[in-house]
A and B are shown apart, each in its own frame.
Chain A
């Protein structure tokens, strides 16, 4: 299992000393598939590796540096577009880690720009972004209505000339989820970076990363999310994290993430049966970068919908998407 090899290498970079060519091929393929190749490249920066591996890792570091630069530029453009509104614009996930210079951001893949703004400012933010050149990606009325009624974010937008996506959130979980985090408190406690941009407090960063990984979604990219959490936890006061997680209704999730991070990226932890299932899902990747354990992956895909929607709503949603020709990959 190459995902397991990837995890071992991130935990203990010196362990690559014994790898043969096929081990390296599996490690690199798994790291690319999990979008952890940049992170791996930083972890191995001071470790002796075979000559053929060196350019692969230095390419990955250069790509990560470019992604961070582009992400910060997008954040700057969003700040510029939203500056006149006078609302707090809170950077989330990869862009936030890069902007705040966090260890979790080192080599991290950064996709879209994710921002959190107060729910009452959503309409104004949407108008300001459109005026500054962002436009809608989805032209399907059902998807658009679904986002606006049930999701925690606007439908995704893309900038017409820079071709970069922005996700505008007003809270950190879909409105249909069982938990209702206190987004207003998160925004109130956010830490200023200057230029009208903020990042979440170190404890809320953990809560958000955990909510994203364990209370939403199907654990695609879970190894990367857990790597973030592993480093974000190191910057926090454990008691404040517990209090914060409880306030947002996510204490069990945060405790579980702590156990998983300790089991995978630290010496170890006692895992429950449910933890072990998640670990099996996280490690479902072979030496060619392919997903394994298809049934388990599909079960987590189903669970992600179950988490987001009550049964009747789920049935109606799946029926609508099916008629539109959507099939799970």
Chain B
């Protein structure tokens, strides 16, 4: 048993003496995280939740039309304040549910509104022409709304555009449905009187009016679906978690690569002629890989906490999760190296396999900004051990408990067992006296 640790400590000494190894283990993950922190701000979930920028919007409502004048009696929307389409848009954009996304200022002069955008006093100016309602309700139904935006902005104007489009789509759908309903009613009943038409029109416009706009846009920060106690997490924390997992799974194979290095340099054969069982030699290599990853994890977790103020979550859960990740990454290394014949081959193959599986595992981080990422992203991610590791860390950072991440821990241990059994069997066969 002592010899196992002698071999492990010798391997670790060699690893930590290598500047390149130390750089990849600690330097690169921390540097990458620091770069993201500088780009996006060092936001921590509790203190600075993920937020979208608030866009200053100027609305120039010149719409002089009225539903009441243009529709049969009783068919206009029931809201007292929404006499025209311009009024409906004003009410929609003034909705308090949109306060986190935009601040609305009303003006009368379109030129002054555009000038305010040019001067970057506002991000977007929405100009509603005087005949908006009239043209919208006409037979061809073509009405124009001018959106004048700061070209330097992207997210805010896109959101404003989306809100207006969604609302107008709702009106258009109602218009089409209304026409179809009246037509079908006439075909079914033979005749349709004016009162019935007014009733149908009234119902449709009522449903397309101001009261349903609050459900048109849902904006939320990326967070886990773990319930009421879920916290939002900063992008820096997610990048750090991703980098940590990526490089931990890189350290596994690169440390296990010492088996090939020793074989090529003749020291492995020399070990085999000492009174040291082959099992002890291979165990020493595995323990070296494990301990190296433990050190790497410890340094990166503490650096994340102290440098980037990352809250990793429940300490017991994080320890158990990291232990399962460590075992999985070390076994992953033994497994991969067992298929390689030389250090040169390992260099090429490991770079590809580790990068590919690491990227696949980190895919949920890449789509962090998407409100509804495609389902395949998670499926692909969870096809790799890195994916389960990232998912587990992400869960803990959003306030999950040990029970919540227990499936991640068990699956990572299962990966570890599979990798270790296959890898160690292959090595035993390879180094059984030929």
Whether both chains belong to one complex is answered with no
